[in-house]
Amino acid sequence: MENPVNRGSFGIIGSGSWATALAKILTDNHNTINWLVRTGAMSDAIIKRKHNPNYLHTVVFDTSLLNLQTNVSKVVDASDHIIIATPSAYVADTLKSLSNKDFEGKKIISAVKGIIPQDNILLNDYLQKEFNVDLKDYFTIMGPCHAEEVAAEKLSYLTFSGTDEPMAAEIATYFKTDYLNTVVNDDVYGVQFAAILKNIYALGAGIAHGLEYGDNFLSVLIANSADEMAGFLRNVGILNMEVGKHEGEDPVTHKKRANYAASVYLGDLLVTCYSLYSRNRTFGNMIGKGYSVKSAQLELNMVAEGYNASKSIYIINKGVKSEMPVAETIYRILWEQLSPEEGFRQIEETLV
Maximum alpha-carbon separation in the chain: 64
For 48-88, what is each residue's pLDDT tens digit? 999 999 999 999 999 999 999 999 999 999 999 999 999 99
pLDDT band at 5 (very low <50, low <70, confident <90, very high): very low
Q: Tell me the CA distances in angstroms from 58 to 38, 61, 149, 150, one per residue in order.
A: 20, 10, 11, 11
Give the E-state strand segments of the chain in sequence order. Answer: 10-13, 33-36, 66-69, 81-84, 107-110, 138-142, 156-162, 180-185
For 196-213, what is each residue's pLDDT tens digit? 999 999 999 999 999 999
The answer on pLDDT for 2 being more than 70 is: no
For 90-129, what is each residue's pLDDT tens digit? 999 999 999 999 999 999 999 998 999 999 999 999 999 9
Q: What pLDDT, on a 0 to 100 scale, did the predictor assign at position 251?
A: 67
End-to-end CA distance of the chain: 62
Q: Tell me the CA distances in angstroms from 7 to 38, 43, 107, 231, one per residue in order.
A: 26, 25, 11, 40
196 and 179 in a single domain? The answer is no
314 and 267 in a single domain? The answer is yes
Closest CA to 197 of 13, 49, 57, 328: 328
Q: What pLDDT, on a 0 to 100 scale, did the predictor assign at position 1?
A: 30
For 160-190, what is each residue's pLDDT tens digit? 999 999 999 999 999 999 999 999 999 999 9
The answer on pLDDT for 239 being more than 90 is: no
For 30-43, what is each residue's pLDDT tens digit? 999 999 999 999 99
Full domain range(s) for residue 343: 190-348
Q: Which of 158, 186, 214 is the last residue of a domain?
A: 186
What is the 3-class SS of 141-161, one letter each residue? EECCCCHHHHHCCCCEEEEEE
pLDDT band at 252 (very low <50, low <70, confident <90, very high): low
- Per DSSP, what are the bridge partners of residue 107? 81
- Per DSSP, what are the bridge partners of residue 35? 12, 68
Q: Is 96 exposed, middle or buried (0-12, 13-18, 19+ CB in 10 A)?
A: exposed
Domain count for the chain, please give it: 2
Q: Which of 186, 220, 237 is the last residue of a domain?
A: 186
Percent pLDDT > 90 in the chain is 85
178 and 123 in a single domain? The answer is yes
Q: Is the residue at 5 inside a domain?
A: no
Q: At 208, which CATH number?
A: 1.10.1040.10
273 and 147 in a single domain? The answer is no
210 and 110 in a single domain? The answer is no
Q: Is the residue at 1 inside a domain?
A: no
Q: Which of 164, 186, 208 is the last residue of a domain?
A: 186
Radius of gyration for the alpha carbons in the chain, expressed in angstroms and rounded: 20
57 and 180 in a single domain? The answer is yes
209 and 171 in a single domain? The answer is no
For 79-98, what is each residue's pLDDT tens digit? 999 999 999 999 999 999 99
| Of the listed ranges 281-285, 289-293, 298-302, the one predicted with least confidence | 298-302
Q: What pLDDT, on a 0 to 100 scale, did the predictor assign at position 260?
A: 81
61 and 88 in a single domain? The answer is yes
**DSSP one-letter string for 259-300:** -TTSIIIIIHHHHHHH-TT-HHHHHHHHHHTT--HHHHHHHH
201 and 96 in a single domain? The answer is no
126 and 239 in a single domain? The answer is no
Assign residue 332 a region (left: φ > 0; alpha: ψ between -120 and 50; beta: otherwise): alpha
Percent pLDDT > 70 in the chain is 97
Q: Is the residue at 119 inside a domain?
A: yes
Q: Is the residue at 85 inside a domain?
A: yes
Q: At 136, which CATH number?
A: 3.40.50.720
